[in-house]
Amino acid sequence: MNNQLIIKKSMAMILSLVIWISIVGSTMAQENSFASGGNVLPAPPQALGPTDTVELEAFLDELMAKDMEAYHIAGAAVSVVKDGELFFAKGYGYANTYLDFRIPDTFAQPVTIKHLLTHTTGFDERWAASATLDAGDLIPAREWLISHMASRVRPPGDGAAYSNYNAMLAGYIVAQVSGQPYEQYIQDHILAPLGMLHSTAQSPAPQDLRPLTSVGYTYANGDFQTIPDVIAQPVFIPSGLLQASVTDMARFMIAHLQDGQSGDENITMDHILKEGTMQLMHNIQYTPDRRFHGIAYGFFDFSRNGQRTIGHRGYSGKMHSLLLLLLDQNLGVFVVYNSEGGGMVANPQSGFQAAFFDRYFPASAVESIQPPADFAERAGRFVGSYRQTSFPSGSFLKVAGLMDAMQAEISESGDGELLLTYDYGPFSGRVSRFVEEEPLYFRQVDGPFAIAFREDGRGRTTGMVLDPVNFTAFEKLDWYEKSGFNMALLLVCALVFLSVIPIAAAGYIRNRRLSGDRKPTSRSASVATWILLGLSILNLLIMAGTAWGVMAGGSSFLLEPAWILKIVMGLGILSAVLTAGALLYAALAWKDLYWGIATRAYYTLVTVAALAFVWFLNYWNLLGWRY
């Protein structure tokens, strides 16, 4: 059972939850020209007996999970009646499998639908090859999910790490259970009932909608340039490629704010979801800290300025969108941009949202806080580089970390504060200051946000969670994982490899001139020299090819790796083989003494550089075809 993806029994509700995952993706042109503590579960009331279903569910979830693990119980169910009516009912445990392929047994804990919808599965991110430029390269969803299976890099429930693979699996389950293709299920059960006539989950869009679609733009050399359209693999559609007009998105928001109804008097329909399901979707299901913004089913907590808000950001290529539902205000806002620069203003908690909320829902003044007098003694424990857990650590895209992508830096100010440098959301473009309020918990000096650090059993800082960045946690990097060290290592290796070429050329010319006066070079020394020269040239070509391939830009992170990168990954294997040969001949050189000590030392230096370079290729997933 553990090696299958297994889900809870309440499938009627689960199907309703899954279908909303991808509703904010790339967008068509218009068809016409919670507060910071809002996600804390309420305390039990003073009256005897349960009075709040949310509080009761939280209590029972914890109790059932503890008892089922302690006593090895596979499944259970609870119902509570009160005042003559059903008050609460829920099933626990695991039942029928809904995947027809196996998930690796990396961890003992099974992956559930709740994990998929809250991005707490522990799956690595998967981008590459999820789209194509040629319709002839499309493959069935099942085939793609198996051939491009994301690695399980942490136990389920261990923390949030956004991964498109979660939505891909959830969408595949919808298709399996419903017996319909995912895009058809969305059309029949969401778009059509809500009157969203200018929306589609098909890729590419149907012929009648294509004239309404907007292309994506990037700004370069003083002008707008179009971005080529990509065709999504069928598996990718649930992770965010639904296309919709802004007025259709208005219908979608109304349905969420009116308990599943369309709000259009011309559409005769009952609620699109069962009573209570919409509220369940809106409730926070996971949070790393009770004081932090959490994650609901398919939505994220984007509360700001005291307004309880859920939403989702969408992006595909150069399209960027943001959906905001202010639940207590019965207000919804959707904004979309068709250019690369839109990514800067579509980030939640900043850009458009910050401006809109500060204008119509001004924030209260932030209470000042002073640093503890003895904090300077502890500050060094937290200083360092931190990388997002949503970082694609299992594919060649990890190489983006060399440019400090998806990283945050913690430093100390010298006056009792920690300084955060992180280029995302409300922290982008500024250095944010935090002060310790409780052990491992820091509050922003001039804002509403916070940091909670994690430690291991020996008191070492291993990571952090950053509020309100709720789609990912952060892992603290060791010295050898930092971009600064790796870039320096790469530079040193490049200089060493470059030095081999003129030295080998000079040696060749000298030997030619003195060929009649010198003792013939041994075969081993000759082979060793050619191995080192070939290895150095090969490694320099790998460096150049990697730089060229990574600089492809555009939407290439969704496509198959550039052909040059595929060649580079293969050459990395050859480099490892030649490095093994160089190590062997370096040992023989010291054993047989067929060179002078200076030459032997230099040969060893180059071999060590080659070995370090193989480590570099392996760490950054460039050794072999890892995508």
The pLDDT value recorded for residue 620 is: 94
d(CA 324, CA 305): 14
Which two three-digit tokens encode residue 121?
Answer: 């599965």
Amino acid at 177: V
Q: 165-192: per-residue pLDDT in tens?
A: 999 999 999 999 899 999 999 999 999 9
pLDDT above 80: residue 24: no
Smallest CA-to-CA distance from 121 within 164, 64, 91 is with 164
**Residue 35 contacts residue 306 (beta carbons within 8 Å):** yes
d(CA 232, CA 59): 42
**Averaged pLDDT score across all residues of the chain:** 85
The pLDDT value recorded for residue 525 is: 86
pTM flag (> 0.75): yes
Q: What interhelical angle do 563-592 and 523-550 show, nearest 10? A: 150
Amino acid at 118: T
Task: Label residue 594 by pLDDT band (50, 70, 90).
Answer: confident
The pLDDT value recorded for residue 348 is: 94
Q: 306-324: per-residue pLDDT in tens?
A: 999 999 998 876 788 999 9
The domains found in the chain, sorted by start residue, are 11-217+228-337 (3.40.710.10), 375-477 (2.40.128.50), 482-619 (no CATH)
Task: Label residue 20 by pLDDT band (50, 70, 90).
Answer: very low
Q: 71-110: per-residue pLDDT in tens?
A: 888 778 898 988 888 888 888 876 586 788 888 888 888 8
Section 374-393 average pLDDT: 91
Q: 462-499: per-residue pLDDT in tens?
A: 999 999 999 999 999 999 999 999 999 999 999 999 99
Rg (CA), the chain: 28
Of residues 136 and 409, more confidence is placed in 409
- Longest Cα–Cα distance of the chain, Å, equals 110
The pLDDT value recorded for residue 264 is: 65
Q: 230-278: per-residue pLDDT in tens?
A: 788 899 989 878 889 899 999 999 989 987 776 666 655 556 777 678 8
pLDDT above 80: residue 60: yes
The pLDDT value recorded for residue 397 is: 86
Q: What is the DSSP letter of 190?
A: I
**Residue 27 contacts residue 198 (beta carbons within 8 Å):** no
Section 137-163 average pLDDT: 92
SS3 state of residue 81: strand
d(CA 388, CA 473): 6
Task: Label residue 544 by pLDDT band (50, 70, 90).
Answer: very high
Percent of the chain with pLDDT over 90: 48
pLDDT above 50: residue 345: yes
The pLDDT value recorded for residue 16 is: 42
**Residue 398 contacts residue 477 (beta carbons within 8 Å):** no
What is the C-alpha end-to-end distance of the chain, expressed in Å? 28
Q: 416-472: per-residue pLDDT in tens?
A: 999 999 999 899 989 999 999 999 999 999 889 999 999 998 999 999 999 999 999
Task: Label residue 3 by pLDDT band (50, 70, 90).
Answer: very low
The pLDDT value recorded for residue 112 is: 87
Q: 26-47: per-residue pLDDT in tens?
A: 444 344 333 334 444 455 555 6
The pLDDT value recorded for residue 168 is: 93
Section 574-582 average pLDDT: 96
pLDDT above 50: residue 554: no
The pLDDT value recorded for residue 306 is: 92
pLDDT above 90: residue 371: no
